[in-house]
Structure formats: C-alpha cells, structure tokens
Chain A
Amino acid sequence: MQLFYKTMQELKALIEKEIRLEWRQRYALNGMILYIVSTVFVCYISFALKIKGMEPITWNTLLWIILLFTAVNSITKSFTQERAGRQLYYYTLASPQGIILSKIIYNIVLLLTLSLIGLFIYIVFLGNPVQNLVMYLTAIILGAIGFSSTLTMVAGIASKAENTSTLMAVLSFPIILPMLSMLIRLSKNAMDGLEWNTSYDEILILLAIDAIVIAISYLLFPFLWRS
C-alpha cells in the first residue's frame, strides 16, 4: 500500500511536470491545433468544395488519417523536447515505469484534446453524418488511448536514432494498423447508428490491444531508459 501510494505520488508529480512544460511552450500546443485545423481545411478545399457531399466511408477514413498524423506529429516530440542532460537527471530521480506511465497518460490527455478539437472542426467544415455520437466519441477515446500508448513507446525508440521523424512514421504505422482498422470499423458502426451490441467485439478487441501495448511498454521501457 505504501509503495502504491508512493508510485501514485511520483506519477502525479511527473504528469504535472509534463503539463507545466507543455503550458510553458504553448507555441507547440497551438502549433498542433493549427496543424489539425489546416489539415481539415485542406480536406475541405479538396473534397467538399468540388464534390457535394462525401461518401460516409471517405469521411470516416479521412478523419482517422488526420488524427493518426496529428498523433504521430505531436507525440514524436515527447522524448526529444527535453535535452539529454535533463533526461539523465530524471533518470536519477524517478523510476522508469513512472516515466513511461506519466508520459502515456499525459499523451492520452493531449491526444484526446486534439482529437476532440479536430472532430469538432471536421464536423463544422465537412458536415456531420454520424448518427450515434456517443459511440463515435467512445471510438475517439479508445483511439487516443491506443495511439498514445503505442506511439509513446515508439517515440522512445526513435528518439535514440538520428532521423527521428522518418523512423517514427516507419516504425509506428505498421504496428498501429490493426488498431486503426478496428477503430475505423467501430466508428463506421457509430456512423451508421448501429446498436451497441453489434460493436462489443470491436470495443473489446481495442481494449485488449490497448492493455497489451501498455503492459508491454511498462515492461520494456526500463531497458530503453537505461541507454
């Protein structure tokens, strides 16, 4: 119990640090929001102006691709924004498990914010064919959890190499694909307004994948952190 309490406290401190860091460099956050807005606007210009009304499947897939790229871009910096010296300092202070969990949780919050803003703008510009918004939001939440847990670990690996951003995309896209296909399926169900019980399979699998990824990150990160 004592240990649990201590871990929680460490986690809280680390997450607070991440948020404070982000708040101090607000240009990065604003940059990400602007990134999502301008991407949506590009889609709006290239799709909606020419063709009146998009196919629902295109609408859905396009949104997820935008969210995926936003996630990759925003999480890439989660290990590179702090200098090596400071990371060494954290290394002496905190446990590696605490670091990875705090980064994952922080990234979940960040991605959730970005995705919700993105969804809102997307709906404003490209219309709203979603029939079951609650289920769609569930998909967004599960997506944020899955993306951030996978990408945080990959960002940790990629940050050790020279060409971080290329490596980030190359390493993360293939392993995020199963999750993405499930998310697209779940959100398509939500768009069609299907009953909840038709989508339990997808939700369960997404939860399972998220759990596997978080567990593996938790186990493997100490090895990554040591180098």
Chain B
Amino acid sequence: MKKTWWKILCVVILFYTIIQGLGGIVPRQPILNETIRNVYFHVPLWFGMMTLMTASMWFAIKYLRNGNIQDDEYSVEFANVAIFFGILGFMTGSLWGQYTWGDWLPKDPKIIAVEVGLLIYSSYFILRSSFEDEQRKARLSAIYNIFAFATFIPLVWILPRLTDSLHPGNGGNPAFGKYDMDNSMRMVFYPAIIGWTLLGVWITSLRIRLRAIERLGSN
C-alpha cells in the first residue's frame, strides 16, 4: 500500500479529469466554445513535460556528483517520457489551434519553443547513441542535458512573454485563469496537472524497471 497509493491517486484523478473533461459543465466563451475542455489535457501535459524535464536534469546532476549508473538511467527515461508528453501536448495543441485560431500550426513563439525543445532532446539521444562506453556515454549526455536545459528555460519562459503570442498570458494577452476559467473548472484543472504528472512518473518508473530487468538478463 505504501508504494501504490500514488498510482491509485493517479488513476482516480485521471478518470475524474476525463469524465469532467468530456461531460462536465464548462463556461461557454466566444471562439473557444467547447474546446475549452482541452485545457484539462493540453496544459497539464505541458506542465508534466516540464516537470519530467526538470527531473531528468536533476538526475543528470546527481549522476555527475556520484557516478552511479542508475541515476543516468533515471535521467534518460525521464527525458524519454518528457518527449512523449511533449509530442502529446503538441498534438492536442495543434488540434486546439485548428478550431480556435484556424490553423494547425500558427506561427507562435511558444510553439517554436516547443519544437526546439523536442529538437534538443532528440539530439540528446543522438549524442547518447554515438558512444559505446557506458560511463562515458552517461557522463557526456548528463553534461549536455544540464547545458541544454539551462538554455531551454529562457526560450520557453522568457521569450514568449516578450513577443506577440496567440497563447493566453503572453504578449499582453490575459492569462487563462483570469477570465476564462471559472471555479468549477479550476477544481478539475489543478488535479489534472497532478494526475498527468503522476502518470508520467509512473510510465518512467515502469521503463526504468524494464531496463533493470534487461540489464540483469544480459549479464
């Protein structure tokens, strides 16, 4: 029970999110209409991705400090799932964009930032695949991970706020929370962030265990 409570929590929250997301009552806003339900899916996926990337960097730092190969595996798998979440968030966002802004991929600094983020993590995997030696691979990719994260943060958090953006909360647009979401939506939105993040951690932990089994099998 000690180790499974958060998985149960995750399942419960996600069911709640999905049921509320598909059937709950939402305020009807101009242009947004029913698509505002996407706020339960698209936005938390980004939050989850950022959390997973931060975790990936955290384990990269940990690896550099003590050289434990297990930390490197954590770091890789967190990055892997972060990319997965990134792609999901990208798809939900694109779908949303089509119905509200009238374009699958409008020119927007946040979208560009995320595309760059996916590029960065793809090159992280390219870097990993170009080394044979395990320790060396782990050390260099950890260095790149930290370095890339540090340059990625200004891209995602600072640049969109300075330029014109279609996203709420940027470039003079009011943030979502202020006008569009009412309290009943917030009751779903905040748990949804926790739920999706927990799901990401869960997937990661499964992948890490799978890796550990594979490593044992190959020895």
Contacts and interface: CB of A to CB of B under 8 A. Distances in A.
Nearest to A176: B151
Contacts of B147: 153-154, 157, 175, 213, 216-217, 220
A174 B162 CA distance: 20
A178 B116 contact: yes
B146 interface: yes
A161 B133 CA distance: 11
A201 B148 CA distance: 23
Interface string A170-205: 110111111101100000000000000000010001
Contacts of A32: none
A167 interface: yes
B116 A227 contact: no
Interface stretch (B75-83, B120-128, B188-196, B202-210): B120-128
Contacts of A161: 127, 130-131, 140
Interface residues of B, number: 27
Given A209-B151, A212-B151, A174 B120 contact: yes
A157 B158 contact: no
A205 B158 contact: yes
B151 A213 contact: yes
Nearest to A179: B151
B8 interface: no
Contacts of A212: 150-151, 154
Contacts of B130: 161-163, 167
Given A167-B126, A209-B151, A223-B139, A174 B64 contact: no
A150 interface: yes
Given A161-B127, A167-B127, A216-B147, A175 B140 contact: no
B158 A160 contact: no
Interface string A125-156: 00000000000000000000000001001100
A224 interface: yes
Contacts of B159: 178, 181-182, 205
B136 interface: yes
A88 to B, nearest CB: 16
B123 A209 contact: no
B146 A175 contact: no
A77 B162 CA distance: 36
Nearest to B131: A161
A117 interface: no
Interface in B127-168: 127, 130-131, 136, 139-140, 142-144, 146-148, 150-152, 154-155, 158-159, 162
Interface of B: 64, 113, 116, 119-120, 123, 126-127, 130-131, 136, 139-140, 142-144, 146-148, 150-152, 154-155, 158-159, 162
Given A212-B150, A220-B143, 7 more contacts: A157-B147, A160-B140, A161-B131, A170-B123, A174-B116, A213-B151, A220-B147
Interface of A: 150, 153-154, 157, 160-163, 167, 170-171, 173-179, 181-182, 201, 205, 208-209, 212-213, 216-217, 220, 223-224, 227
8 contacts: A160-B140, A171-B123, A178-B154, A178-B155, A208-B154, A212-B150, A213-B150, A216-B150
Closest 9 CB pairs of A and B: A174-B119, A178-B155, A174-B120, A175-B151, A161-B130, A170-B123, A216-B150, A223-B64, A220-B143
